[in-house]
Structures are given as C-alpha cells and as structure tokens.
Amino acid sequence: MKKLLALVLALAMILSMSLAYAEPVTITYAHFSGSGAQEETLKKMIEVFESKNPDIKVDIQITGYEDYFTKLATTIGGGNPPDVFEMNMENFLSYMLRDACADVTDMITTENYSEGTLAAVSSEGKVYAVPMSFSTCVLFYNKALFDQAGVDYPTDEWTWADAQAAAEKIKALGDDIWGYYQPITYNEFYKSIKGNGGSVLSDDYSQFTMNTPENVAVLDAMIARVRGDNHVMPTKEELAGRGDWDLFSEGKLGMLITGIWAFPTFTDKCAFDWDIVVEPGFKTPSTFFFANVNCVSPASEKKEAAAKFIDAMGSDPDIVQLRLDASWELPAIADQSKLTQYIDMTPPANRKAVFDSMDFAAAPPALEEQGAVVEIVDNVLSTLETNDMTAQEALDEIQAQLEDADLL
C-alpha cells in the first residue's frame, strides 16, 4: 500500500511538472526600430515566432528612438530589465563593455549569420547579441532639381567638393530650394572624418584625438554648408518646422544624406524621380554601418526562450521575408541569395549602392561611456550653425571637455 501511494504521489508530481511546463513562457521584449512605420511588420514577425513556438509568448514593449535608451537604462538600473532588448551598434558596444549583455554563443545558430555582422557582436570568441538587421546611409538625390540646374547626376566617385559644386547650382534655383543636407552631429562627424584619415581615438584607445588637422578640415567643410550668404544647407530657422525628409519629399532639396530606411517613405511621398549613390566622402568614401541587434539580459530567468526568440528574429526564413517585403533595412543572414528580391525592387533604381556602401563602412568607436561622449560632442556641434566659433575652436573645446571628464 505504501509503495502504491508513493507511486501515485510520484505520478502526480510528474503530471504537475508536465502541466507547469506546458504553460507558455512569457518573455519581455524592449524594442525601438519598429516604432512608427514598421509596427505592423514587427507584430507579424512576433506572430510568426509564436505560431512556431507555442510554448513562448512575447510581450512587446515599443518605445520611440528618442526616448528608448533613457527608458531602457532606467529599467535596467532599477533592477527590472526586459528579457530581450534591442540595441543599435554604438549603444550595444557600450552595454557589452559593461557586461549588460548575456553570452548567447551556445544558444543560437551562428552559421545563419554573415561573418561581418556576427564579428561585430562578438568579443574574444563569444557572441553577445544576434544581428537582426543592418543598413547603410547613402546619398539620395532629386533628379528633377539636377535636371533644372543642368548638373550631371552624382556618381559613386564623388567627393565633398563635387557635391558642394552641384549643391551651389541647385541652391541658385530659388529661395526655398536647397542643395544639400547633412546635419552637424557626432554621428555624422565621426563617420566623415574617416574619409580624411581622421579619428575620434588614438590607435591604442588611450586618448581622444578630436582636434587634429584632419578632423578640423572636415568640420570646417560641414560648417561652411550652413553658414554665410551662399550656404547650401538650411538652418533650423530656414527649415521652418520641417524635417530634412519633409524638405526632400516636397521636392525642395537636391541631395540628402540619410539611411536606406527612408525608401518606403520617399517611394510613397515623392512625386519626382529620385535615386541613390554611395555617399561622397571628404576625400574617400566613408559611410555609416548601422546594425540593430537583439540582446538577452544576464538577469533574465528565461534565457533559453529569449535566445530562441532572438535567433528567430534574425534568421527565421518567414521573418526574414517579412523584413524584405517591408524594405525594413536588411537581414544580416549568411545566405545572400535571399537578398535578390531587395536589389530588384524599385525605387531607387540603384539599390546596388546599398551593398557597395558596405565597402566604406565606418563603425562607431567602442566607448564604454558612449552616451557621455556623444552629449559633450553634440552640445558643442549643435551650436555651430548660428555662432561664430571656428572648427578649430569647437574641436579644441570638445577635446578639453572630454579630457576633463576622464571618459577613457
């Protein structure tokens, strides 16, 4: 009788454990890149994952880019991190250096991803994120304005001098017609100086090198676009509440440096022919390599489910197809043959420039105090369109503030 009772209890325990295991696991997912235009695509991706993994549910927490990283830092600092969180590359590097991303090497199928993007999320042989998508910035140009100005269309061989000459002729077409738009920001600066042999950090990462002659020359050219009587780029006042995308969509901007995620918007809103080329460099091409990655929190108690989710978001064929159909950046998959559909879509006609741009990618500096560095740099750069500070003075000021802050 005792043996029978023990057997019944054991069976009851097993049944209880089975029922408990059958309950779906819910993981939280903090996300920013789908906010707005791609929210429906994101929801469809989650539906695909959940249909294939009925034992896992995903609680999506979408926040716009402007507020996302502050909110995420607050959540993690408060001891309540999401199981999975999305990162752009520069912030990922900062979080990885702070041990805020779990090692997922043995929990994902690494061969599904392209070598370059996987290397970007790895350190000392360990993988700390899954590369979900990548994109580049390119030069968008309005063919109609080029035709009106009698200027040849841009080519992949253009330098900043070529772009400036064309921008001046386009600007001459009217008072509210502008030639070029590239904001004076940290992101645009660190990327552009590479095209003149400049850098933010010394080769051994021991000191900042903001005010070198190479960097000063680049910033001087950026300032010249937006200052003076013959400036080719509008000030904030001249934008009159419009954004750079608005200005381009309205047919009032000849050239714009922005990301390939603008394709759907410009396809929908532009009533003129437009195309793209590799972004011109100061001397040689230099362009952003963006990658959005998914990380698992080291504090998560559901790491296996979380890892399965981020692996699917990066490489599941049906999820990849949804990304391609929506022109939502590019999947970071190893099988490049799947990208043929993307290249064949129009507009723009020259989508090959997206992949050609990868040859000139400028990765963000690996900075543990990324946010603090960006704040110092942008606080100075953001004033340059309206004050008389020279490029040399601005970069001397930035260099001094960074050294005083002791951020390395």
Most confident of 223-227, 289-293, 326-330: 223-227
Q: Regarding the domain with residue range 136-288+355-405, which homologous superfamily does it belong to in the CATH classification? A: Periplasmic binding protein-like II (3.40.190.10)
In sequence order, the β-bridge partners of residue 394 are none
Domains of the chain by residue range = 2-133+290-344, 136-288+355-405
**Listed residue (259, 262, 294) closest to 60, CA to CA:** 294
Are 171 and 177 in contact by the 8 Å Cβ rule? The answer is: yes
The answer to whether residue 337 scores a pLDDT higher than 60 is: yes
Tell me the backbone φ, ψ of residue 46, rounded to 5 degrees.
Answer: -65, -40
pLDDT at residue 257, as a whole number: 97
Asked whether the domain spanning 136-288+355-405 has the same topology as the one spanning 2-133+290-344, the reply is: yes
Are 287 and 362 in contact by the 8 Å Cβ rule? The answer is: yes
Q: Which residues contact 175 (CB under 8 A, 6 or more apart)?
A: none
Are 111 and 282 in contact by the 8 Å Cβ rule? The answer is: no
Pairing state of beta strands 122-123 and 178-181?
unpaired
Q: How confident is the model at residue 10 (pLDDT cuts 50, 70, 90)?
A: very low
Pairs from 155-162 (Cβ < 8 Å, separation ≥ 24): 155/277, 156/277, 156/278, 156/285, 156/353, 156/356, 158/277, 158/280, 159/280, 159/281, 159/282, 159/283, 159/284, 160/221, 160/280, 160/281, 160/282, 162/280
Task: Report which of residues 295 and 345 the model is more confident about.
Answer: 295
Lowest-confidence segment of 64-73, 282-291, 361-370, 374-383 by average pLDDT: 361-370
- Neighbouring C-beta atoms of residue 63, cutoff 10 Å: 16
Which percentage of the chain shows pLDDT scores above 90? Answer: 76
Are 390 and 220 in contact by the 8 Å Cβ rule? The answer is: yes
Instruction: Look up residue 105 and give its DSSP letter.
Output: G
Are 105 and 123 in contact by the 8 Å Cβ rule? The answer is: no
Q: What does the alpha-carbon distance between residue 97 and residue 92 come to, in Å, rounded to a whole number?
A: 8
CATH of domain 2-133+290-344: 3.40.190.10
Integer CA distances (angstroms), 6 to 14, 15, 47, 65, in order: 12, 14, 43, 57
Query: Whole-prediction pTM value?
Result: 0.77
- Encode pLDDT of 111-169 as tens digits: 999 887 888 899 999 999 999 998 889 999 999 999 999 999 999 999 999 999 999 99
Count of all residues that appear for the chain in the document: 408
The answer to whether residue 1 scores a pLDDT higher than 60 is: no
pLDDT at residue 22, as a whole number: 59
